[in-house]
Chains A and B, each alone.
Chain A
Amino acid sequence: MSNAFDFPGGIHPPERKQRSNQATLIDAPLPGRVTLPLQQHSGQPATPCVAPGDTVKVGSVIAQREGMISSHLHASISGTVREVSTTQIIIDSDGQDEWNRLPSIDWQRAAPNALFERLNESGIVGLGGAGFPTHIKARVVERHTIHTLVINAAECEPYITADDLTLRHYASDVLEGAQIIAKLCGAQHIVIGIEDNKPEAIEALRQAIQKSQPITVELKVISTRYPSGGERQLIKRLLDLNVPSGGLPADVGVLCHNPGTLLAILHAVRDGQPLVSRVVTLTGEAISQPGNRWVRLGTSIKELLEQVGLDHTALHQVIQGGPMMGAPLLTLDTPVTKLTNCLIAATIVELPPAPVESPCIRCGECESVCPVSLLPQQLHWYARANDDAKMERYHLFDCIECGACSYVCPSHIPLVVDYREAKSRIRLQRIETAKAEYAKHRFEFRQARLAREEAEKQARKEARKSQQRRTPTSAVASSEKVDLRGLRIAHAAAKASVKKAEKTLARVAQEDPKQPLDDLEMQLATAQENLKAAESQLAQAKEQQAASAPSQSEESS
């Protein structure tokens, strides 16, 4: 059970998982209407591709990804589009639940590109909470060598049992999803990290592991301690590898996935089923039938909780996510999204409001529980003094916002709230200082777009000309020398800069999911415009050469 490797600090909050892990995983009733926000993932919101009045089936694409770090969105029920706004799409159900599935793929034989494309068109994002588009994460192999795929089943937050129940019911499917990802990223090892408070899931995995192939899967049961489910903390505990500060697990050859995401990947590949539903833990003392449900995305949280016996009078607050890192909902009129893993309908006795804050007495409890070995009390001091430079010096951006420090603080100081505010303030400042740079990038993008349009116009003109030319005489043809080699080099350079822009973007987006990405998306778009221009110039040059070559050969013969 115990493990030689460990991360510093950590806490043991009350688990309270029994409330939701007793019942089996069942489907929630089909909603009569769904509200689908255009942004249910990190990066740019998707762009709607349907209009009010359109009929859709389950799985029809209703919004397309915008830019690189973004994700498609699909109808989660069949029916009629009722409303399309800048932030969301509302669909009314026809009660039929008709599906629009993609063809099944045999992943063991399929080419990687077909699988990447399937992940992209299925709109899969990380279901553990970060919401990072899976198709980008899967392409990690283009930039890094991965040796181990880690399945993060630690689920260390109190209350949440979604991964636990997913594994009890779908252990072998989750492992098959892991095999797909392992194939795509070239990992030779698959390791599952799970906390020892989930004996049924562990047993289910033990059974499933024996049949999982081609890569053997290793099951590592770790003792329960918050926050073992943090990506860096889990990698440290399972593999004794330190993910560098500001880096990614891929930097040490590791890729981390949540069981729910792996199951969604298998459903997309094997069954051609896009991401239209997810497992949500419904728990808390204010509902009478707690448990886990398969919920269609866009289902109203209010309706969902009422279906499981919400007692409005007993309800104090609904928390989305876990009690440590989640956030209270201001209104229940909000839909379940790809990121909703848990809803806690808590009574006031269960999760009372935090007592009034008192001064920090520098007791150092926060330091002893910090899983990253930061000095939370020093950060607190500088946060209250708005000393951002000092905060960065004390590694503010290494904070994983797990809330262990706030949890043990005897003065009830909401430390993590302070850190979050400081982080977003610093992010804004960075944008402010880089504004001139951004303007330059926007200008470059415009230039590149104009150049591309010009090149394409030129190409069309040439194409028309050469068609007219071909019929009468060939005499006038290209006396001008075509610099095919130069164009080929330019094309290759443009392609390389697109790759580079993609790499930077993917990296930044994963390192700090809350960092705005507009500027990097703009730079990528510029590179793409340049590539298109180079492509059309090259194509045009090739055509010219092809047109002139036969005529020359005719003359010479």
Chain B
Amino acid sequence: MSMMHASGVNDAPLTTFVPPTASLMRWVIVATLPGIATMSYFFGLGVLSNILIAAVLGVALEAAVLRLRKRPIRVTLNDASALLTAILLGVSLPPASPWWLIGVGMIAAIVVGKQLYGGLGHNPFNPAMIGYALLLVSFPTYMTLWAPPQELLPEGLWAQITGTLPTAQLDGLSGATPLDAFKHKGEAVLASEFWATNPLPDGTLNAWRWVALAWLAGGILLLVKRIISWHIPVAMLGSVLLLATLFYLSDPSHFASPLFHLLTGATLFGAFFIATDPVSAATSRRGKLLYGAGIGALIIIIRTFGGYPDAVAFAVLLMNLCVPLLDLYSVPRPTGHLKSSRGEQP
């Protein structure tokens, strides 16, 4: 019967009404702009120089590996995915990080985390978070020292180029993030006492809140433009809020408030820009909900009981590990089937 079918020719002619992958990536980049602008406003030009260095290195590394792999360079670079990874890693690092730190991070992200696995679409882990996690584990001093807000240090930028730490940042406490400070307040200190000591430089908490809201704005843009689906951000933020609330209600004097968890650190940034990376996330809608909820739960658990003040990178990477399992157990029930074949192995 199908003798009339002209096989071998493009079989689905009506295909060009959907924004292509490259434009999806560009929209995500556009959506990072409010976050980047707000961060630069509060933390200085070091944020932009981070991104600039990361972008140059990222594109160069991707081109170099593509050349070694004998893959088309121009077409692939055009999908803007390397640029996006560079931006995401750039904003995650402390402003005005040494260039070699960014370089090590980008090599881990682009070369190891992405291209060695086969390039776009084949990486099991979020490349930016691979880079970030490697740096966090290997160079904890450099990674946990954030310049206090409103210090636009020309000498900091100079230190970035020479690859040394600016002297101002060596003063540990002044560079702490709110999550970091709260983490190290000590077991005996009650939350109310901790806040009463005014532990952070002026405006730090406020700056982090504004940055978080800017990421939220970018995330809403992505949702409105239907670049990302709601499943992962909603599940992740929902589980963060739920667990944080449970802890907080059980002992408000000891645990941080849900709002604190939501508006400091990388929670909102992670929910909209990191966890939603489709390549390393679960694929079915059910799987995405589980994946997001898992990240949220891990964030709270690591922040509360783990050794690191923030946990988005580790939470995302750990859930990346679970994706094959989630995909296997979240197969939807096709129309006409009485039950789904969830988790069945051939």
Contacts and interface: CB of A to CB of B under 8 A. Distances in A.
Interface of A: 7-8, 13-14, 37, 39, 41-43, 130-131, 158, 232, 236, 242-247, 317, 319-320, 323-324, 326-330, 334, 337, 339-340, 346, 351-356, 358-365, 367-368, 371-375, 377-378, 389-390, 393-395, 398, 403, 406-412, 414, 416-417, 420, 513-514
Main secondary structure of the interface of B (DSSP, over half): loop
Nearest to A400: B335
Contact of B337 (A245, A340, A406): A245
Contacts of B288: 364
Contacts of B30: none
B198 to A, nearest CB: 46
Interface in B315-335: 327, 331-335
Given A364-B288, A368-B229, A375-B283, A393 B121 contact: no
A372 B15 contact: no
Given A372-B334, A372-B335, A361 B13 contact: no
Given A243-B336, A411-B21, A361 B11 contact: no
A360 B6 contact: no
Contacts of A247: 336
B254 to A, nearest CB: 40
Contacts of A323: 12-14
Interface string B91-112: 0000000000000000000000
Interface in B267-309: 278-279, 281, 283-285, 288
Nearest to A42: B1
Contacts of B344: 393
B11 A359 contact: no
B68 interface: no
Contacts of B24: 361, 363, 410
A540 B279 CA distance: 75
Interface string B197-215: 0000000000000000000
Main secondary structure of the interface of A (DSSP, over half): loop
23 contacts: A7-B335, A37-B3, A39-B3, A232-B335, A243-B336, A317-B13, A328-B11, A334-B4, A339-B1, A358-B75, A359-B120, A363-B21, A365-B18, A368-B285, A371-B335, A395-B341, A398-B335, A406-B15, A408-B18, A410-B20, A410-B23, A417-B11, A420-B7
Closest 3 CB pairs of A and B: A359-B121, A323-B14, A245-B336
Which of B1, B278, B335 has the largest count of A CB atoms less than 10 A from its CB?
B335
Given A362-B278, A393-B344, A417-B11, A355 B16 contact: yes
A390 B15 contact: no
Contacts, number: 178
Contacts of A408: 18
Interface residues of B, number: 49
Contact of A362 (B4, B10, B281, B335): B281
A406 B11 CA distance: 10
Contact of B18 (A14, A330, A359, A407): A407
Contact of B6 (A7, A236, A327, A411): A327
Contact of A330 (B6, B14, B331, B336): B6
Interface string B239-260: 0000000000000000000000
Contacts of A158: 14
B327 A378 contact: yes
